[in-house]
Amino acid sequence: MNLEPPVRPTLATAPHDSVVTSSPRDVPVDRATAAARRVIEALMRTDRRAANLDRVTAVLDTIADHLDQHAPPVADRLIDMWRGEGITRHDPATGVENPLAPPLVLTGRADGSVDGVVTLTIPYQGPPGHVHGGVAAQLLDHTLGVANMWAGRKGATAQLNVRYHRPTPLFEPLTVCGRLVSEDGAKINTVGDIRTADGTVCVSAQGLFIDQSAFARPR
């Protein structure tokens, strides 16, 4: 695919406290995605016997058929979804157009860090009443990548090391943060964590990223 690199806000170019992911907008696709999230949550919560799930299935299939009829070939859609700020609208962590994303909204800070608050519910459950460890890893992986962007770097994840300090609760606000801590040529070292509202760290992560462009151009 021939994709134009999107313009991303960085600490050097954008005002402090800029939202560095995409914010939900009052547009049809964002409203439809929010409604799809409601269905996911409600489907997991509903009584398996009382709700008329065969009727629900029929209506959902009708909607999927309708949307499929208006879908371009996958290759075309992939190009379109990466245009402009598309990069931040479709991923499964912060993507406001992705029903799988909570979505997490991240803000770039003057000190070089990024952070956002998210409350996770039943679809993200691992142990009873707590966040799935893999979901925590996923949110941190993405947040570390956004922290790199905010610092003006971009790299592919080479290693992600996640430490689980205590179970991460569902149903309460969690702060997810990330920060680029050091650079050595193409190697970028970034850390982050997930905390409860009282500041208790539940999960922390350290990532090594490789800036591919460092190999492609003279430095």
Cβ closer to its own copies: 63 or 197?
A: 63
Verify binding: residue 67, its own copies, rule CB under 8 A. Answer: yes
Q: What is the DSSP string of 77-104?
A: HHHHHTSGGGGGTSSTTT-TT-TT----
Shortest CB 44 distance to its own copies, Å: 6
Verify binding: residue 201, its own copies, rule CB under 8 A. Answer: no
Distance CA(131)–CA(16), nearest Å, equals 30
Residue 217, classified by CB atoms within 10 Å of its CB into exposed (0-12), middle (13-18) or buried (19+), is exposed
Query: Which residues in 117-176 contact its own copies (CB under 8 A)?
Result: 122-129, 132-135, 137-142, 145, 156-164, 167, 171
- 8 A C-beta contact, residue 178 and residue 190: yes
Shortest CB 80 distance to its own copies, Å: 8
Distance CA(57)–CA(53), nearest Å, equals 6
Cβ closer to its own copies: 116 or 145?
A: 145
Verify binding: residue 198, its own copies, rule CB under 8 A. Answer: no
- 8 A C-beta contact, residue 126 and residue 168: no
Query: Which residues in 29-48 contact its own copies (CB under 8 A)?
Result: 29, 31-36, 38-48
Query: Which residues in 77-96 contact its own copies (CB under 8 A)?
Result: 77-78, 81-82, 90-93
Nearest to 119 by CA among 136, 102, 134, 107: 102
The residue count for binding its own copies (CB under 8 A) is 82
Window contacting its own copies (CB under 8 A); options: 9-17, 97-105, 108-116, 190-198:
97-105
